[in-house]
Amino acid sequence: MLITLDLDNVIFNMKPIYQKAFRQAGQEYKKQTSWDIDSVYEEEVCCNLINLWTSDYLYKMPVLDKKIPQILNNLMAQKDIKVLFVTERLLKQPKKSFQQLRRAGIKCTFDQVIDKPGLKSDILKELRPDIHFDDSPYVIKGCIKKSVPVVMISNNSTLYNHDLRAKVEHYPNLRAALIGKGLIQKTK
């Protein structure tokens, strides 16, 4: 069984980047209500965001859930399960994404990290995962179109994907999604 996982806002918390972008612009932080940042944020905040997304700061983002590294390590230790980390970060620097995962305590190998040019839904279509987990509305729509089985992470920090809730199975976080798909047991 192949499981593919997005990184940002699925494993790693992106809120510090947004908070910094607003702080640099001298503005109060506002949640991202649309995937299209130009439609919801002012020019300066958008510029700051793009600069931060293409800086080393991106690779310093912490995990959303401290239990996730252990959960993923247990999952990856199972013989019949293969896990790949598939991201579409602006800088195609899989080594840095790999190092970020390792620093978080996720014991993956470099070849488990896919961070390359091209449409993510095309990359996924080729990989043929049994389940892909993502929060991006673009990627989710692409997966639906290309028949890639996808589960959406959707919560109060991902207001940009709520309009897809009627179209796709969704959970508030990765742990709940893994439990929901029967991949891990519910623990206290």
Residues that bind Mg ion (CB under 5 A): 6, 8-9, 135
Shortest Cβ distance from residue 80 to Mg ion (Å)?
26
Residue 161 forms beta bridges with which residues?
none
CA distance 13 to 63: 6
CB closer to Mg ion, 45 vs 135: 135
CB closer to Mg ion, 44 vs 181: 181
The strands making up 150-153's β-sheet, listed across from edge to edge, are 113-114, 82-86, 2-5, 131-134, 150-153, 170-171
Shortest Cβ distance from residue 26 to Mg ion (Å)?
27
Shortest Cβ distance from residue 15 to Mg ion (Å)?
13
CB closer to Mg ion, 60 vs 78: 60
Q: Which residue is nearest to Mg ion (CB)?
A: 8
CB closer to Mg ion, 78 vs 165: 165
Shortest Cβ distance from residue 73 to Mg ion (Å)?
21
Contact 37, 46 (CB under 8 A): yes
